[in-house]
């Protein structure tokens, strides 16, 4: 039966909306689609529980919201090059996404969002945190807002290996140099305050994984203000925690939300499927 109408339930004061009363295997009516898109843009994420989705259902849902190109940097399931496998095996210590970030902010056209579906979960742990960067900007002082509106920041993929960003990664200077060289073209400059393309809301667009410094500022000067902004943005008031269950799916708005995959389930397997969505060119 076609999904005609849905019910929305806030996940926290400022971040996230749970969508109830929908079976994502069924075709989606226009009204349900518009309500979900609105909730996504307003609160940064929408989530679902109790779904039973094949990769084809997952992909069809994602494609309703934009273009889904082949996954980059990740393995993919047979027949579905657009679906990236986000996995951590029992013997691994590092996970994917284990620090606050927005996906691909080092590219000039970062994704609209991503839809992550749980395939295999640890018995405990492996939650994902989300922060609403519109709410984060709104709750700054007028003076800070005005300062930030005049700034641009550099976002670089290689920054994610730098010690100030990820002390836990502890790569050697040689490995760091290799990443800097390999990804020297994966960096760009974004305004620190962007406007959400669908709501017009101002968004604090920096993140602890890829943002290295403000244009025209020294790294040390930048770090002091960036660290303040990161702590503010990811405070409990601006964020929420999503607990995965079998059949859970989350769609985050990558233009206005940060996310953080907790890495607290060593010795267990966690396998997720991710479809990354781009706004039509």
Does 272 sit near ligand SIN (CB under 6 A)? Answer: yes
Query: What single string gives the DSSP state of each residue in 161-197?
Result: GSTTT-TTT---HHHHHHHHHHTTTSEEEEESEEE-T
Please tell me whether residue 70 adopts helix, strand or coil conformation.
Answer: coil
Assess 128 for contact with ligand SIN (CB under 6 A): yes
Q: Kindly tell me which of 210 and 214 has the beta carbon lying closer to ligand SIN.
A: 210
> Is 6 or 86 the residue whose CB approaches ligand SIN more closely?
86
Of the two residues 214 and 265, which places its CB atom closer to ligand SIN in the complex?
265
Least separation in angstroms between residue 31's CB and ligand SIN is 29
- Closest CB 107 distance from ligand SIN, rounded Å: 15
Contact 211, 159 (CB under 8 A): yes
Nearest by Cα to 133 from 193, 188, 189, 191: 193
Minimum gap (Å) between residue 174 Cβ and ligand SIN? 27
- Which residue minimizes CB distance to ligand SIN? 97
- Report if residue 121 touches ligand SIN, rule: CB under 6 A: no
d(CA 251, CA 87): 18
Is the CB of residue 48 less than 8 Å from the CB of residue 252?
Answer: no
Q: Where are the alpha helices (DSSP H) in the chain?
A: 30-43, 55-65, 133-138, 142-149, 173-182, 219-233
As measured in angstroms, the least distance from the Cβ of 116 to ligand SIN is 6
Quick one: 84 or 134, whose CB is closer to ligand SIN? 84
Query: What minimum distance in Å lies between the beta carbon of 124 and ligand SIN?
Result: 15
Q: Is 257 in the site for ligand SIN (CB under 6 A)?
A: no
- 157 binding ligand SIN? (CB under 6 A): no
Instruction: Please identify, using beta-carbon distances, which residue of 67 and 85 lies nearer to ligand SIN.
Output: 85
String marking each residue 70-109 x if it binds ligand SIN according to CB under 6 A:
----------------x---------xx------------
CB 97 within 8 A of CB 257: no
CB of 129 to ligand SIN, least distance (A): 9
Nearest to 84 by CA among 92, 76, 73: 76
| Helices and strands of the chain, counted as H and E runs | 6, 15
Other Cβ atoms less than 10 A from the Cβ of 115: the count is 26
How far is it, in rounded angstroms, from Cα 44 to Cα 63?
Answer: 18
Which parts of this chain interact with ligand SIN (CB under 6 A)?
Answer: 86, 96-97, 116, 128, 259, 261, 272, 274
């Amino acid at each position: 039966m076609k999904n005609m109408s849905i019910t929305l339930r806030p996940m926290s004061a400022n971040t996230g909306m749970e969508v109830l009363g929908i079976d994502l295997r069924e075709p989606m009516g226009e009204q349900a689609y518009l309500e979900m898109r609105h909730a996504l843009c307003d609160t940064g994420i929408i989530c679902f529980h109790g779904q039973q989705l094949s990769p084809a259902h997952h992909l069809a849902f994602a494609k309703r919201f934009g273009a889904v190109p082949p996954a980059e940097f990740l393995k993919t399931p047979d027949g579905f090059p657009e679906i990236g496998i986000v996995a951590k095996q029992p013997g691994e210590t590092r996970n994917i996404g284990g620090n606050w970030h927005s996906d691909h902010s080092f590219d000039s056209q970062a994704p609209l969002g991503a839809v992550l579906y749980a395939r295999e979960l640890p018995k405990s742990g492996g939650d994902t945190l989300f922060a609403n960067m519109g709410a984060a900007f709104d709750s700054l002082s007028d003076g800070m807002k005005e300062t930030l509106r005049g700034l641009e920041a550099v976002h670089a993929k290689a920054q994610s290996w730098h010690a100030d960003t990820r002390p836990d990664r502890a790569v050697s200077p040689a490995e760091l140099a290799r990443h800097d060289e390999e990804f020297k073209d994966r960096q760009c400059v974004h305004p620190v305050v962007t406007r959400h393309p669908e709501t017009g809301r101002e968004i604090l667009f920096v993140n602890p994984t890829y943002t290295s410094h403000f244009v025209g500022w020294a790294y040390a000067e930048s770090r002091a203000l960036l660290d303040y902004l990161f702590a503010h943005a990811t405070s409990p008031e601006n964020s929420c925690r999503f607990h995965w269950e079998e059949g859970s799916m989350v769609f985050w708005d990558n233009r206005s939300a940060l996310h953080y995959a907790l890495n607290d389930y060593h010795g267990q397997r966690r396998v997720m499927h991710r479809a990354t969505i781009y706004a039509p060119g």
